[in-house]
Amino acid sequence: MHALLRDVGISHHVLWQPHTLTYAMPPGWSDRWEGGPIFEEFHFTDAPSPFNGIGAVLNARYVFNTMEKLLFATGTLPVLVGDHKYAERQDDISYSTWHRKRGMSEHMLRTFFAPMSLALNFTHIDDISAEAMLRVMAYFASSKDASRAGFLDGPPGDRLIEPIAAYLRNRGVAIDTAVPIAELLFAGDRCIGARTSDGRTYEADSVILATPVHNAAKLLPTEMLRDPLVHGVGKLTSSPVINAHMWFDKPISRYSNLIFGCGSLMPVHADLGQASPGYEWPGKSFIEICVAPADDLMKLDDATIVERILTDMQKFYPLARESFVKAKLVRVPKSVYRASPGAERLRPGARTPVRNLFLAGCYTNHRFPASIEGAMRSARHAADGVLEYAGARA
C-alpha cells in the first residue's frame, strides 16, 4: 500500500498518527476502578517488533493487571515467535475458545480482544476464527509500524480513489463504472472477457475478477465452484457493517487517534474533525464510527440506530448528546468475508481452474486480514499470475 501511494504521488495525503492504541472503557465496565470512563493509551516504544508492543503492554494500568501481562506474554508466545503453522491449526475454533484454553482472563478478552475482533472483521469475538486473530497478532509482532494508524487528510474519494483512477487513465487504462458485469465469457479452456448488464461485451487476453466474495460467487460458473481451487468462494459468507458519520458543534473528545470502544456499538472510531483538516469541520468533532456487529441493526431505521449510537457515545463522551448536530449512516449489508471458524482454509488463492482467469480481493488467501492492505496484496498476486500467463515473467 505504501508503495502504491508513493508511485501515484499521494503519500502526503496520509496523516500518520502517534504509534498509540487507545482503549475506551465506559463507567461500570470493571470493578477495578470507579467513576467516569477510562481511556487507556498503549504507547509503542521506538524499538524493533515485537519489543515495541511488549513495552506498550507492560505500561498498561487498566486493560491488563500484572498477572494478565504475564498471561498475555505466555498465552500469545506461539504467535510472537512467528509459528504460522500453529496459527493455521487454530482455524476450527473461535478466538474466545482459544483465548480461554491458553489461560488468559475474561477481562482481557472483553476489554482488549473483543473490540479488536469487531474492528478487524466486524465479527464478534465468540464467532471469529482463532487463526484470523492470530494472523493479525503475528503481523503486529513482526512489523514495527503495523499497528500504527494513518488517516487521509480528507474524504477518500478526493484523496485516494480519484488520484489512483487519474494515474491509471493517464497510462491508457479505461475505467467504466456505469454498469455492473453480468457474466464472464468462456471459450474452451479460456476466459475471453465479460458481458455487462446492458449487453456490452469486453474481450480480454486475461481477466482478473476483483470483486467482493459474494459477487465472485455469482459470476463464477457453478461447475467451477466445485473445483478445489475455488470451492471456498461459494462457501464464504460476508459480514454486515454500518459506517456512521456523526457531527458535533464542539470538540467532545480530546483524542484524535484511533479509539477502540469496549462494550459498545462503536468498537473502533476516530475524531476526524480534529485529526483531518480536509473534512472542513475545524475546532469541532466529526467522529467516524465502525458500527459492529451490525447483523441485528440492519432491519432498524436510521433514527433508531443513531439513538443507540448516541446512548453508547454518551458513556465515553459526556458532551455528545447536547452537542450533536447530525448523522449519516452508510449501510453495507455484505462487506468483507466473515472470518468464522473454518473460513480461513476456504480462502482461495489468485489462480482458478481457468488458466487466464484470476481472483483478487481481500477474501483471497494472502496471509492478511480483510483490509485495504490485504486487497492490495491480492491484486499483486493476481497481476503476477497475468504476467506469468502472458510469458512476461520468467
Q: What CATH number has the domain bearing residue 218?
A: 3.50.50.60
Q: Are residues 228 and 352 located together in one domain of the fold?
A: yes
Considering the domain boundaries, does residue 378 fall inside one?
Answer: yes
Is it the case that residue 345 has pLDDT exceeding 80?
yes
pTM of the model: 0.92
Burial 45-79 (b: 16+ CB within 10 A, else e): eeeebbebbbebbeebebbbeeebbebbeebbebb
Whether residue 311 is found in the same domain as residue 283: yes
pLDDT of residue 141: 82
Higher pLDDT, 59 or 192: 192
Per-residue pLDDT of 11-35, as tens digits, reads: 999 999 999 999 999 999 998 888 8
User: 3-state SS string over 154-212?
Assistant: CCHHHHHHHHHHHHHHCCCCCCCCCCCEEEEEEECCEEEEEEECCCCEEECCCEEEECC
Which tens digits make up the pLDDT trace of 256-315? 899 999 999 999 999 999 899 899 898 899 999 999 989 999 999 999 999 999 999 999
Check residue 145 and give its pLDDT.
Answer: 87
For residue 198, being part of any structural domain is answered with yes
Cell numbers placing 198: 446492458
How does DSSP classify residue 338?
P
User: Is residue 278 located within the same domain as residue 210?
Assistant: no
Same domain, 68 and 121: yes
Say whether both 348 and 230 belong to one domain: yes
- pLDDT, residue 3, reads 87
User: CA-CA distance, 46 to 27, in Å (whole number)?
Assistant: 32
Give the residue among 183, 218, 216, 178 at the shortest CA–CA distance from 202: 183
Contact present, 291 and 244 (Cβ < 8 Å): yes
Residues 355 and 280 in one domain: no
Q: Which cell goes with 49? A: 517488533
Do 121 and 167 fall into the same domain? no
For residue 167, the enclosing domain spans 1-16+149-171
C-alpha cell at 329: 449512516
Whether 293 maps to a domain, the answer reads yes
pLDDT of residue 93: 97
pLDDT tens string 134-158:
988 888 888 888 889 999 999 999 9
Q: What is the mean pLDDT of residues 160-170?
A: 96
Q: What CATH number does the domain containing 257 carry? A: 3.90.660.10
| Per-residue pLDDT reduced to its tens digit, 180-216 | 999 999 999 999 999 999 999 999 999 999 999 999 9
In a domain, 36, yes or no: no
Answer yes or no: do 359 and 227 share one domain. yes
| DSSP 8-class letter at 240 | -
Residue 132 pLDDT: 94
Domain membership flag for residue 28: no
Residue 33 within any structural domain of the chain:
no
Report d(CA 324, CA 289) in Å as an integer: 14
Q: What are phi and psi of 283, to 5 degrees?
A: 75, 5
- CA gap 25, 260 in Å, rounded: 9
pLDDT class of 39 with cuts at 50, 70, 90: very high
- Per-residue model confidence (pLDDT) at position 126: 97
Residue 367 clears pLDDT 80, i.e. is over it: no
pLDDT at 394 over 60: no
- 132 and 182 both lie in a single domain: no
When divided into structural domains, the chain yields a total of 4
Residues 54 and 118 occupy one common structural domain:
yes
Q: Which of 307, 332, 357 is the last residue of a domain?
A: 332
Q: Calculate the dihedral angle through the C-alpha atoms of 358, 361, 363, 368, rounding to the nearest 10 degrees.
A: 110
Asked whether residue 53 falls in the same domain as residue 130, the answer is yes
Residues 111 and 232 both lie in one domain: no
pLDDT score of 321: 97
318: in domain: yes
In this prediction, residues 27-47 reach a mean pLDDT of 92
Domain boundary residue, one of 298, 332, 366: 332
% of the chain exceeding 70 in pLDDT? 99
The answer to whether position 273 is within a domain reads yes
SS3 326: strand
